[in-house]
Amino acid sequence: MRYKLFGKSGLRVSELCLGTMTFGPNWGWGADKAEAKNIFDAYASAGGNFIDTANRYTDGTAESYLGEFLAPDRDHFILATKYSLYDRKDDPNFSGNHRKNMIRSLEGSLKRLNTDFIDIFWLHAWDFMTPVEEIMRGLDDLVKAGKVLHLGISDTPAWVVSQANTLADLRGWTAFTGLQFEYSLVERTPERDLMPMARAFGMAMTPWGILGAGVLSGKYNPGKVQEEQGRARLWGEVNEQRLTIAQIVEAISKEIGCTPAQVAINWVRQQPGTVIPILGARRASQFLENLAALDHPLSPDQFRRLDDASHIDRGFPHDFLASDGVRNLVTGGTYNQIDPR
């Protein structure tokens, strides 16, 4: 396991992050405490120190488990949790980005996690209701109080994050140093705005969903999908285009002598910039297998083939501005004579 700097924070975090949404049986499919501990121990034994959780995961059970697991050596680990999602249904102020939910949610997480502070506190999802200045001032107060060390933001439009960090810099408040979003070979839309923005602001990126809801794990093939396509969970997850990409992933995995999941993980892990994939699992054996992706890096040719197979149009204005005609217009025909930054 190697380590990366988490944005501009100076924190040294593992190149793979342990995701804990599977910790707890509350939702009917997660790991019980014993298996969750096995997953945690496997990650820690491999040198992992970066843990991702949230107030909402398995109704708080994930945080409670982690409170026990981390207790013997809390300061060794970089612990990240989130707020925004509801802790109580049918109560409008038990969710959202506003300060009341922010404080209430954090205090609950601190108790469940059995800790005095959170290393990275994430806004989990943008609510389109709370003013950005209210959020940034509230989060900065938590940093100044010592309850939170660094800030991250997840599942939020790029223009909002840019506004928030620019405002924080202007006011002398704490800015977001990490960005979280869905990203995989079958979901590359963050390349349009989120990822370029993160690189411009010097933010670390922690993608989730890197196996494309299981499509890239090798568990689906055309026959299997035909059998199961009546199941609601497959709608929007498995289609002909995604299966084509999955078949190329599988072909490359056979070349390397590894699993399709390991190929998909490495394609995300080897992206430019500080990209730290989040790995989760229901079983320790599955987690160890995915962790072994570190032993099977992609060659430049394999990386390019996967890139080509999963290419997306970036849309306007990106493709427009990258066209030869527009480049000539904005550089007076000297584009190829100018060294980029």
Cα–Cα dist 100/176, whole Å: 20
Helix (H) or strand (E) holding 256: helix 240-256
Q: How many of the other CB atoms lie within 10 Å of CB of 124?
A: 22
Eight-class DSSP state of 293: G
Nearest Cα neighbor of 154 from 120, 112, 126 is: 126
Chain length of the chain:
341
Q: How many of the other CB atoms lie within 10 Å of CB of 9?
A: 20
Nearest Cα neighbor of 153 from 200, 183, 120 is: 120
Phi-psi bin for 236: left (phi > 0), alpha (psi -120 to 50), beta? Answer: left
**CA 179 to centroid of chain Cα atoms:** 7
Radius of gyration of the chain (CA): 21
Cα–Cα dist 85/96, whole Å: 6
Question: Of the listed 57, 83, 183, 220, which one is catalytic?
Answer: 57
For the packed helices 132-144 and 158-171, what is the interaxial angle rounded to 10 degrees? 50
Q: Is 237 helix (H, G, I), strand (E, B) or coil?
A: coil
Active site residue 86: no
Q: Print burial letters for 196-218: b (CB count within 10 Å at least 16), e (below 16).
A: ebbeebebbbbbbbbbbbbbbbb
Which residues carry out catalysis?
Answer: 57
